[in-house]
Amino acid sequence: MDPHPFWVAGRPAAGDAELTVTNAYDGRVVGVCSVPTPSQVEEAVAAAAAVRGRAAALPLHVRAEALAHVSRRLAERAEEIARLITGENGKPILWARGEVTRAISTFRFAAEETRRLGGETMRLDTDAASTGRLAYVSRVPHGPVLAITPFNFPLNLVAHKVAPAIAVGAPVVVKPAPATPLSSLVLGEILAETGLPEGMFSVLPVPNDRAAALVEDPRLPVVSFTGSGPVGYAIMDRVPRKHVTLELGGNAAAVVLADADLDWAASRVALFSNYQAGQSCIAVQRVIVEEAVREDFLARLIPAVETLVTGDPSDDATQVGPLVSAEAAERVEKWVAEAVAGGARLLTGGTRDGATIAPTVLADVPREARIFCEEVFGPVMTVQSVSGVDAAFAAVNDSRYGLQAGVFTRDLDIAFRANRELEVGGVVIGDVPSYRADQMPYGGVKDSGVGREGVRSAMADLTYEKVMVLTGLSL
């Protein structure tokens, strides 16, 4: 099996070591990629720094057409790339196809937003001292971006960093997760077709223990990281003077109130606690049910969970596949066992077969159990009952995380109250917290991160306002 090249300053390259990528479900080798040497990493960073000025000056139509090209090529190669995602990540092909579709949209949105980029003019002669003066306000990139991406969405979360960077004219160096580098390398292959300036992008599958040097490099003034909280905040502490965006974890709550459509709520909670094998920072982890409908809801939820198709991720019918590794599944299994030993009731699931955890529902979980208060990142949900809206919203906020929350209600006043009171970055009314549209602002509060993604929001985050004042004008 020939190793995939990586990308240094827009050119394919091979290093002096290789990384083998295996499928978590059956252990087969999915692919091999070459690993860059320190000198090749230096070449990539130096090229990004060297092209900084040219990248910022690229005409908008050049940036937009490059992004549109990527969107078109992803669409043309959609099934191939979806199969690659399933192979390296283990997510069912159902969800892998959805990820490719989202990445196609992400690059298309970025192309559209690029064409809308423009400055703002402000007359300053509102005071006599500024007669004849006009301000032109534009957005300027902070500089080259280091994009550190996770394993759970190996294409679309790379797209959410690369597309906005190109849109604003910022070079980008991608460090993909070592478990899932192949999708980002294919993206590099497509980017190389665009004719973007040399140095505009690099994709470097370096081991995590070599990432610190990239984080600290002053030629990369922006760090955009998606992953675990301890790693993210360690990055921020390491480089306090850099512009750092962190999209971290969560233990997302779904609130089911007495007026909800219980069939709809149960079906959505069942599916989106377990999609991606629960390896999504907005997968449903905590289910908070109003006491009046608890038993009716559980009577719908448990069968909905038990009918999910778990198995081979390459099968079109599979809804729940393996976790990214057997080690990850062993951790989740341990957390479930700890909760049960502490008094939690296992309503369904809880078993492990290799890297696969059966979709699991727990009730009466002790507040101090890790599976309740930490991010489980597996196909497990906890169910707690509350007396009413006040207690439900308090339960949502009783967490150090605050990414997104879902509230199943048909009461418009309660919907707006949820938006006011819930300490999260996004509130989804009538559905699970797992909903994300790629053009909307996305990010959390508290320990769920700093900054916002979503194409336009990320473009604003990667830039700063610059003012030019024109003097002596007849306005």
| Catalytic (active-site) positions | 247, 281
Question: Alpha-carbon torsion 169, 171, 175, 180, what sign?
Answer: positive
The answer to whether the CB of 459 falls within 8 A of the CB of 164 is yes
Burial class of residue 134, CB neighbours in 10 A (0-12, 13-18, 19+): middle
The answer to whether the CB of 15 falls within 8 A of the CB of 6 is yes
Residue 314 and residue 425: Cα distance in Å, rounded? Answer: 34
Q: DSSP state, 355? A: T
Q: How do 445-446 and 401-402 pair as beta strands?
A: antiparallel
What angle is formed at CA 379 by the lines to CA 432 and CA 103, rounded to 5 degrees? Answer: 60
Q: Which CA distances in Å does 191 have to 7, 222, 265, 308, 457?
A: 10, 21, 41, 37, 22
Q: Which helix (H) or strand (E) holds 373?
A: helix 370-373
How far is C-alpha 227 from the geometric centre of its chain's CA atoms? 8
Q: Amino acid letter at 83?
A: R
Q: Amino acid letter at 275?
A: Y
Residue 311 and residue 183: Cα distance in Å, rounded? Answer: 22
Q: How do 449-450 and 352-353 pair as beta strands?
A: unpaired
Task: Give the number of other Cβ atoms within 10 Å of residue 219's Cβ.
Answer: 18
Q: What is the DSSP string of 284-329?
A: --EEEEEGGGHHHHHHHHHHHHHTS-BS-TTSTT-SB---S-HHHH
Order of strands across the sheet that contains 11-13: 11-13, 6-8, 201-203, 172-175, 145-148, 222-226, 243-247, 449-450
Numbers of helices and strands, H then E, in the chain: 16, 24
